[in-house]
Each structure stands twice: as C-alpha cells, then as structure tokens.
Amino acid sequence: MDELKNLDQATIKLLHKHDILLALIKNIFYEKSINDVELTSIEKKNIQDQFRKEHKLNSDEEYYEWIKTNNFKKDEFETNIYYNEKLKKLCIDKFFHKTESRFLKRKSELDIVVYSLIRLKDQFQAREIYLKLKEQEANFNDLAFQFSEGVEKVTKGLIGPIPLNKAHPKVIEILSSIKPGEIYKPFTLDNWHIILRLESFESATLDHNMKLHMAKELLMEWVEEQSKSIMSRLLSNP
C-alpha cells in the first residue's frame, strides 16, 4: 500500500486519534484489491458491448465520442465500467467456496416473515377471540385493533416484513410450523396470551444472487480484518 508509505509516524497517530486511519486504510485496501483483479479481453469486450447497447452507441466512433463528451479519459472511463465485474470476480474467486456455510449460519436473518398478532392479559378473552376467528365470525385485524393490548394495536396487529430471527424464539417456532393464513391457538408468552396468524413467509434460498451477496459480506469482513492488521503494524512502528 504505497499510499501509506509517505506518512510519518506523527501523521499516522494523528489520523488514528481522530478515527480516520482505519477508514483510510480500508478504502485504499478495498480499492487495491479490486484493481488487482484481471479481466480477460472477452470479459472487457462484453462489458463494453453491454454499455454500448444500453446507450445506443452503434459504432466505435459513437462510443469514443460519448466518452469525450462526458469528460472522461478512455482508460479512466473503462476502469469505472469494469469495476462491478471486477468486484464480482473477486467475490467469486476468493469467497464462493465459503458461501454455503455463511448462508446456513445467517438463514434465519435472511428468511422474511409477515404475521399478525393479538396480545391479551385475559386468558378467557383470548380463547373467545380465537374461536370467533376460527369460525370466521370476525376479521383478525379489526379484532387486533379493538382488543390487542400491545403496541401492535396501532397496526391492526400486523408485524413485518421482518427477518424471522427478530421475533421471539417461541414465536419463531410457531411461525415455522404453520402455513400462511393459518391461525395458531392462544399460547402464553411473558404473562401475555397471544394469538398468531402467519401472513407470509419468504424463505431465503442459496441461488447465485444469494451466493454473491454472501460473498460480498465475506469480502467486507476480510477487508476489515486485513485493514485492522495493517493499522496495527503502522501504529507499532517506532
């Protein structure tokens, strides 16, 4: 990281004191990591062709004129349009083999749920409302607005969409066991009697886009880790 070699120890300590040093190192390290990725001539051509298609540039002359008109230098411009592909390639080459493990650890954060809830202190009232709902004698959201005693009252009982793991463990267990539209019988939780209805459940899947998302998270953690190591070495220099 040549950009840091010209900094003397006093400057390094000053940047650290004002919480600037780590951010600076991360930006430099991240940029260098992406710039070091090599694209093949075919990959570069595909990116250029896609850009030309999107901007209706039908010849080399039109392409170069667009670059000039927008005040770019050709090399600078092409560095910019190659950026996303280099980032993707870095993620794939360095972290794709770790994405499944990452996904399994984070799946409960990635599953998205919407549910409705009625919360009551009175056990018998909870049972009465549940039976009305089972017999379809009343609307769940109307009853939540009328009778629920928690903050969900203002949303007519509706909670979400939220990551599944943000719910209480007991609620997670129930929501994972019922189908959308199904109403679960009253259960006790923290001295409340709760009635739940699952509205929707979007289970995260490990497709290519999710793998890329996991790989990007791993990349950012790696950048953070490497940057802290570089900062420690800089600060320890006499």
What stretch(es) of the chain map to CATH 3.10.50.40?
Answer: 112-202
- Residue of higher predicted confidence among 5 and 96: 96
CA pair distance 26, 23, nearest whole angstrom: 5
Query: Once rounded to an integer, what is the mean pLDDT over residues 215-220?
Result: 97
Tokens of 32: 């260098």
- Residue of higher predicted confidence among 218 and 138: 218
Query: Once rounded to an integer, what is the mean pLDDT over residues 19-43?
Result: 95
Residue 41 has pLDDT above 90, yes or no: yes
174-199 residues labelled b (16+ CB within 10 A) or e (exposed): bbeeeeeeebbebeeeeebbbbbbbb
120 backbone dihedrals φ, ψ, rounded to 5°: -135, 150
Residue 3 has pLDDT above 80, yes or no: no
Compute the Cα dihedral for 142, 144, 146, 151 and give only its sign.
negative
Amino acid at 202: E
Overall pTM surpassing 0.85 (yes/no): no
- DSSP secondary-structure letter at 225? H
Please give the share of the chain, as a percent, with pLDDT higher than 70: 99
67 backbone dihedrals φ, ψ, rounded to 5°: -60, -45
112-202 folds as Chitinase A; domain 3 (3.10.50)
> What would you report as the CA-atom Rg of the chain, rounded to the nearest whole angstrom?
27
Query: Once rounded to an integer, what is the mean pLDDT over residues 154-162?
Result: 95
238 — pLDDT class (breaks 50, 70, 90) = low
5 — pLDDT class (breaks 50, 70, 90) = confident
Average pLDDT, the chain: 93
pLDDT in the model for residue 116: 96
91 — pLDDT class (breaks 50, 70, 90) = very high
pLDDT in the model for residue 202: 94
Query: Once rounded to an integer, what is the mean pLDDT over residues 62-76?
Result: 92
154 — pLDDT class (breaks 50, 70, 90) = very high
Query: Once rounded to an integer, what is the mean pLDDT over residues 92-114?
Result: 94
pLDDT in the model for residue 7: 84
Residue 2 has pLDDT above 90, yes or no: no
